[in-house]
Structure 1
Amino acid sequence: MIRYLLASLVLAWALGFLWFAVSLPRPAGEVRTDAVIVPTGAAGRIPRGLAVLERGLAERLLVSGVAPEVRPAEFAAEFSVSGERMECCVTLGFAAVDTRGNASEIAAWVEANDITSLRFVTTDWHMRRAASELDRALPPGVTVVRDAVPSEPSLANLFLEYHKLLASLAGGLLGV
């Protein structure tokens, strides 16, 4: 009996990992939202968020989890953002140091700025866990459009992120 249970758990884990690895989230279409939100991390996230802003698909951009030593002028220079665009439309968030912290920082910013819809931009392999954390933190009634940045993750990266997702989901079920 225990062998069947263990075999079933291993099979469920393996099928879950296969699903996770072969069906990574995709980019969103041309959907307009109040804001675009980008947690710092892998390459391509911030440029995608800025492109959404430039195309007029969102009015404001929050970059969550920026290192405390980064100055807005440095950010603007690195990503070729005009001073005018920085002033009106780009907020740098310095409070988060991890994915759960990003969710908290984003939720506070969304509430403080009366955001009712947002485009959440992160890497394809990170989207499920990050969006799950964000969904738990956001106030009710906020529409989230998931916009995944395509990447070519290593098997090791997928393996690690799959287990982080499982831990996050378990924590959510347990209220941790």
Structure 2
Amino acid sequence: MHQKRTAAAKALAYGLSGLLTLWFIAAIFVFCLNTPGPPVEPVDAVVVLGGSSAERLPAAELMADYGQAPVLVLSRTDTPGNASADALCRDASFPNPSLVCFRPVGMDTRGEATAIAGLVRANGWSSIAVVTSSYHVARAGTLIGQCTDASVAMVATEPDLDSLQWLRRFVIETGGLLDVNLRPECGPQAG
């Protein structure tokens, strides 16, 4: 009886180790190596999601400078990680046809997706590029795609994270990706 329990415990441990290893490998591909660049064709607007603006904003500004997007859209959060985007919004004169700033309800990606969908409808945009960190591309792209019929090109930037920060992002983004697929933001269940 004891040997059966020991064998079952070993089998369970090997199975869990195998699943954890598969998850980790999948997470590397989905959250680290998933680095789409700017779209080849011009878009109606380039959107920078909130947070890590020092990393994300330069990629969007480069797209705008090269004429790939006539409108720069910034999520304004008034948080330390979003300081450069917030400063650009704070210092700009409005109305400004080339800059749109919005504050997402809930200060999260779900709120950003809903706000972006409203901006797409209000401005008649048919295509947008969304700039965010590579680890965030899958979840943000899913959420925004749930909320708008516009063509959405995700643009990944490279975060400067250490190993523990990457592992934390893997866990957070895996849970978030499961959540957006089980509870769509703007789908039929969102009401």
Is residue 33–residue 134 contact of structure 2 (8 Å, CA) maintained in 1? Answer: no
CA deviation map 1:116-167 (0-9, x unaligned) = 10011112232222222222222x2x11112112333222222122222221
Runs of 4+ residues deviating >6 angstroms: none
- Contact 1:65–1:102 under 8 Å retained in 2: no
Deviation readout 1:78-129 (Å, 9 max, x if unpaired)? 6xx7x59x71210110134112221111111112111110011112232222
Higher normalized helix content (fraction of residues): 2
Aligned partner of 2:76 in structure 1 is 65
In the superposition, the TM-score normalised over structure 1's length comes to 0.78
Question: Which residue, out of 116, 121, 141, partners 1:131?
Answer: 141
**Hey, what does 2:170 align to over in structure 1?**
162
Residue 21 of structure 1 and its aligned partner are, at CA, apart by: 5.6
What is the percent sequence identity of the aligned residues?
A: 21
Cα 1:151/1:170, change in 2 over 3 Å: closer
Distance 1:76 1:175, change over 3 A: closer
Q: Deviations over 1:5-25 (max 9, x none)?
A: 534422322222332465141
**8 Å CA contact retained: 2:39, 2:129:** no
Amino acid at match of 1:38: V
**Alignment pair present for 1:103 and 2:113:** yes
Where does residue 4 of structure 2 map in the other structure? none
* Gap regions ≥5 residues in structure 2: 1-7, 185-191
Note the C-alpha offset of 1:173.
3.2
TM-score when scaled to structure 2?
Answer: 0.72
Alpha carbon RMSD of aligned pairs, Å? 3.0
Unpaired runs of at least 5, structure 1: none
* Contact 2:135–2:173 (Cα < 8 Å) also in 1: no
Give the structure 2 partner of residue 33 of structure 1.
Answer: 43
Q: Size of the alignment, in residue pairs?
A: 168
